[in-house]
Structure 1
């Protein structure tokens, strides 16, 4: 199959022929239809997050099941599916207590003494995020995907695999925003727009979008923002306090920077919660005012929106098909696999919400 292969940080992805194995007992072979270009992959490309090459990146994908292993019970050939980074085993402590996104069981991967799922000239190729979606096919554990309605367009369904599940899930599952509460969202890329849309679905009374680009702030209004702040102006947290007369109940950081994570905590009202969704560079430490904790302010992380993927994703599909979840507006461009490096260049510039790689069908 054809795939975009990562070899080393700073080097462009190369389009190569990769051998793919047959499904094991609990594995599923999927023909990739669409895959989103996500910041998590960019962090690996630029060396911010560690990864070994050769490997195949990509994790925000949708496709059609081609074959299944003998013990697979959740999907069948012909099913339309969406993948998820937080593949789960189903029986560890995290899974049994409803925290599927925290599962780290190694049994969802092939062991080192087994034939690798992917290889180039008989040398193993790693699956980043246990998925490897920048390829014409994916071979994954059955708990790395979920079947969806066939009337759902797959290029839009792909976004549910990461950006939308992460953004809406942080609102619904991690922070548990309640009707009438106030929300601020820092960063209006794919995840930030999804968080804004999620806050609207949750019934937030006021949703403040914060970004450096006016074009993204205008897009944020389409997703449900009631107010916007251009972050190039000074004292963003102070502006939030003035708008809300005391700060917001919830602030969501969707970029992954020290400054914006600290700003999220600084714009809270008494008893408020800051949820950091963005990936902060390893080793970076946050500085927070200790007295704020006496006001019962909290700061927390969110892993893939604390999702229960088999439950959450079909509901998001229903929201989209009912016209309540915005996905069409999030896709800025659709490009073939051969233009993947240009898509990452666009992502570095930060001007587009989401690019989607589409495969010939």
Structure 2
């Protein structure tokens, strides 16, 4: 079998959309998925722009959140079978860790990790797949692969806000908006949304933010002091900037204030904080995928979506063809979009709907 895919050939250059890439035979623990939709997030942007430092796996495929249908399974795979509709994600769940794959094109190898989604077909490790829950549209299901478990997971699994608390979200991309939505599951007194994009700030109000702060025009630290007095109970940082992690940590209160960051600043970045603030009881914590256990948490998030409590479709602001992947990356970098959606094989949607009606 052969396919088309977007390939990272060289850092700081546009991805190459390559045809007739040969798909390898499945190894133990691997699954072949025909990809329907893929998300695009800052992790791929950082890889393509060289912000993660040296890349010794070039050329390679990209993408780590998507949906699709299983076409074949390798030895030992029991979690899914051909015909199953699945969510592809980077957070490891149950099943075999089948490792990455090597594709071939014109005599050269193209590397791939345990999951990729900027491609028409993907050889995926069994433990990077979860069944797409009932009632979840095929396009919306993409967000269950990264944005939702990471952002909402920070709130539901890591922070678990106590009633009457204050919480601020710094950065309103896919992860930040997912975190903001999840605050509505708790009885917070203040929910503050901070960004530089007026459209995202307007959306944040619809998602339950009690206050929005435009970081372009306001002194964020001073405004937060005005709003909270002693400081925030919780801060979620999702911008990918070391300076914002520092600001978010500065903004939480002494005596138990917690700052959690899921962002990934550029390679070589450092954060600088006053260690005395740690002695005074402030806490700083990174998050690996919102402490999400995909096989347990995705069904829970799906139920909240079905109840209308997680309006995920509003995170998807623009759709692109695979051939337009570089436009999607440029728009994401310029903050012109929320969560770009790649329509890899959108024709699968009719088959999906027919299967769900059986």
Q: Which residue of 2 aligns with 1:226?
A: 210
Say yes or no: does 1:77 pair with 2:82: yes
Asked if 1:285 corresponds to 2:270, the answer is: yes
Name the structure 2 match of 1:67.
Answer: 72
Structure 2 partner of 1:34: 37
**Deviation by residue 1:51-103 (Cα, 9 ceiling, x = unmatched):** 33211111111111111123211111111111121235779xxxxxxxxxxxx
State the aligned residue count: 340
Moved more, 186-195 or 166-175: 166-175
Listed one character per residue, the Cα deviations across residues 294-348 of structure 1 (whole Å, up to 9, x for unaligned) are: 3210111011111111111121122112211121111111111011111111111
Partner SS, residue 108 of structure 1: coil
CA distance in 1: counterparts of 2:79 and 2:186, whole angstroms: 30
1:166 offset after TM fit, Å?
0.9
- 5+ unaligned residues in a row in structure 1: which ranges? 92-106, 111-115
> What's the offset of the Cα at 1:22?
2.9
* 1: CA distance, partners of 2:263 / 2:340: 18
Q: CA deviation at 1:279?
A: 0.6
Instruction: Give yes or no for the alignment of 1:48 onto 2:51.
Output: yes
- Distance 1:73-1:202 versus aligned 2 partners, 3 A rule: farther
CA shift, 1:118, in A, is 1.8
Using the TM superposition, give the Cα deviation of residue 191 of structure 1 relative to its aligned residue in structure 2, in angstroms: 0.9
Q: What SS does structure 2 have at the residue aligned with 1:124?
A: strand
The 2-side partners of 1:342 and 1:37 are apart by 11
Q: Distance in 1 between matches of 2:102 and 2:235?
A: 41
- How far residue 127 of structure 1 moved from its aligned partner, in angstroms, is 1.2
Which among 331, 338, 347 is matched to residue 316 of structure 2?
331
Measure, in 2, the Cα distance between the counterparts of 1:202 and 1:64. Answer: 35
Tell me the residue number matched to 2:98: 108
Distance in 1 of aligned mates of 2:225 and 2:73: 54
Match of residue 160, structure 2, among 161, 176, 180: 176
Per-residue deviation at 1:150? Answer: 4.3
* 2:112 corresponding residue in structure 1: 127
Matching residue of 1:138? 122
Gaps of 5+ in 2: 348-358
Q: Distance in 2 between matches of 1:302 and 1:202?
A: 20
Decide whether aligned partners of structure 1 residues 77 and 297 sit closer, same or farther in structure 2, where only a CA change above 3 A counts.
same
The two structures, once aligned, show a CA RMSD in angstroms of: 1.8
CA contact (8 A) 1:37 1:343 kept: yes
Contact 1:87–1:108 at 8 Å: present in 2 too? no
| Residue 145 (structure 2) aligned to one of 161, 180, 185 | 161
